[in-house]
Amino acid sequence: MATNTNVDRGFDLRARIDDRETRGLRRDLSPVESVSARSRIAGDPGAQQPVFGKRPEKLVFASNNYLGLAGDERVHRAAGRATASVGAGAGASRLLTGDTPAHRALERDLADAKGTERALVFSSGYAANVGTITALAPDVVFSDAYNHASIVDGCRLSDAEIVVYDHCNVQSLADAMAERAHDTADESWLVVTDSVFSMDGDVAPLAGLCDTAERYGAWVMVDEAHATGVFEDGGIVQRDGLTDRVQIQLGTLSKALAAQGGFVAAREPVIELLSNAARSFVFSTGLAPPAAAAARTALSIARNGTRREQLWANVEQLRDGLESLGFDVLGNTHILPVLVGDRSAAVELAAQLEEAGIIAPAIRPPTIPDGTSRIRIAPMATHTERDVERCLAAFERAEAVR
Ligand SMILES: Cc1ncc(COP(=O)(O)O)c(C=O)c1O
């Protein structure tokens, strides 16, 4: 059969990238030399190794390594021991031969911190959200408008009807539920929300969401990605005394717990279902044992050490300082979004901060609504008082919108 060489069924990737550029959506990678409060940063090297050269170290105020434990020697040693005794990788899915003592020990500690019967670790928080929502296969998901992309993708991949309620708005959820409640008593309903919202630094009204869900017999799933290890023993669910009212607690090991991976903490039958039916668990290699061991040690330090107090002291110093400089700081958590408004003003402010040695990126649409561009400041427990002062001085010098 003749081949028609005039037909091109390939992909015009240049046009797609150019289009992102035009819409201000193009991102560049920017390697850091180490994951810590201070690091040298290189430009995107493409296919080459990054060159950090003599560039001075910058202060990183943009990492989710909130407790600074990614650089902690105890965490490193735990990862090293697991590498030596268990292996660098799990070698197979947990359901085959990849289920190791490192996983089991971490899952026991996570269940203890979250006050549940069991926990199950996934290879990422993203995989945990997608796997959990699709395995539960609810008829209807009620999802906060600002939920993380991995929740959104989990909802989309499930066959559920998706009802988006207004951000952190219990009344909006109640109205949506009331509207659907007639003749649907046999439907399974899931309410899903982040606890701490990573771009707004605010906290979901969990008690009100639980009240509403309970009125209709719905289950509640809370993603504690940004709260685990930072609040109380477990997260916001524990802080607010809701352990027994939230059916599924989910989180990541890749933020305050300094490693990589995700988890679900819940009652035994939920974990049994997930280990059989969550495709991102069943058809994916088990979490790397060094990551499991590192996260377990980080969890123990978070629960028993003083890192949390150090983080909150830095948060207070920064929030007070920024507000007294006249900046509008959103939220009420350890994430400090400094509202700028206009997207190019936010990009300009981020550039000026970088010039002054502070790494804190501009967050722009479509990540957040138009007109609310911001700088997301995320302090770490390992920033010193002097580091925080340098960050504040950089904001003070910046000629940006106040
Ligand atoms: C709320 C939330 N859930 C889930 C995730 C995904 O976690 P991971 O990075 O472990 O895949 C993130 C990460 O940014 C997040 O912010």
How does pLDDT run across 364-390, given as a tens digit for each residue? 988 899 999 999 999 999 999 999 999
Mean pLDDT of 222-239: 95
Nearest CA to ligand 1 atom 4: 125
As a three-state string, the secondary structure of the chain is CCCCCCCCCCCCHHHHHHHHHHCCCCCCCCCECCCCCEECECCCCCCCCCCCCCCCCEEECECCCCCCHHHCHHHHHHHHHHHHHCCCCCCCECCCCCCCHHHHHHHHHHHHHHCCCEEEEECCHHHHHHHHHHHHCCCEEEEECCCCHHHHHHHHHCCCEEEEECCCCHHHHHHHHHHHCCCCCCCCEEEEEECECCCCCCECCHHHHHHHHHHCCCEEEEECCCCCCCCCCCCHHHHCCCCCCCCEEEEECCCCCCCCCEEEEECHHHHHHHHHHCHHHHCCECCCHHHHHHHHHHHHHHHHCCHHHHHHHHHHHHHHHHHHCCCEECCCCCCEEEEEECHHHHHHHHHHHHHCCEECCEECCCCCCCCCEEEEEECCCCCCHHHHHHHHHHHHHCCCCC
Cβ(143) to ligand 1 under 6 A?
A: no
Mean pLDDT of 123-141: 98
Q: What is the pLDDT of residue 55?
A: 80
> Would you tell me which CATH number, out of the four given (3.90.1150.10, 3.40.50.1000, 3.30.465.10, 2.60.120.10), belongs to the domain 24-70+306-397?
3.90.1150.10
Identify the band that residue 402 occupies on the pLDDT scale cut at 50, 70 and 90: low
Strands 161-165 and 140-144, by their bridges, are parallel
Mean pLDDT of 105-130: 98
Distance 392 CA to ligand 1 centre (A): 28
Identify the band that residue 56 occupies on the pLDDT scale cut at 50, 70 and 90: confident
Q: What is the pLDDT of residue 232?
A: 78
Mean pLDDT of 326-335: 97
In this predicted structure, which of 25-34, 64-73, 280-289 has the lowest mean pLDDT?
A: 25-34
Is residue 100 a contact partner of residue 286, using CB atoms and an 8 Å limit? yes
Closest Cα partner for 125 from 138, 110, 115? 110
| Cis status of the peptide bond prior to 50, with omega within 30 of 0 | no
Q: What is the pLDDT of residue 118?
A: 98
Choosing from 123, 124, 198, 280, which is the catalytic residue?
A: 198
> Model-level pTM greater than 0.85?
yes
Choosing from 226, 254, 280, 383, which is the catalytic residue?
A: 226
Average pLDDT value over all residues in the chain? 95
Mean pLDDT of 239-265: 98
Say whether pLDDT at 26 is over 90: no
Identify the band that residue 6 occupies on the pLDDT scale cut at 50, 70 and 90: confident
∠ CA 84-90-96, nearest 5°, is 135
The answer to whether residue 226 is catalytic is yes
| Structure tokens that stand for 217 in this block | 């017999």
Say whether pLDDT at 350 is over 60: yes
Mean pLDDT of 177-184: 87
Mean pLDDT of 65-81: 98
CA–CA distance, 336 with 379 (Å, rounded to integer): 8
The answer to whether residue 255 is catalytic is yes
Cβ(129) to ligand 1 under 6 A?
A: yes
Ligand 1 pocket test, pick from 66, 126, 168, 192 with the greatest ligand atom count within 8 Å of Cβ, gives 126
Distance 382 CA to ligand 1 centre (A): 22
Reading phi first (left if > 0) and then psi (alpha if -120 to 50, else beta), residue 183 is in: left
Nearest CA to ligand 1 atom 10: 125
Domain made up of 72-304: CATH architecture:
3-Layer(aba) Sandwich (3.40)
Q: What is the pLDDT of residue 401?
A: 54
Say whether pLDDT at 4 is over 80: no
CA–CA distance, 129 with 150 (Å, rounded to integer): 6
Q: Parse the chain into domains and list their residue ranges.
A: 24-70+306-397, 72-304
Cβ(194) to ligand 1 under 6 A?
A: yes
Identify the band that residue 400 occupies on the pLDDT scale cut at 50, 70 and 90: low
Cβ(195) to ligand 1 under 6 A?
A: no
Say whether pLDDT at 122 is over 90: yes
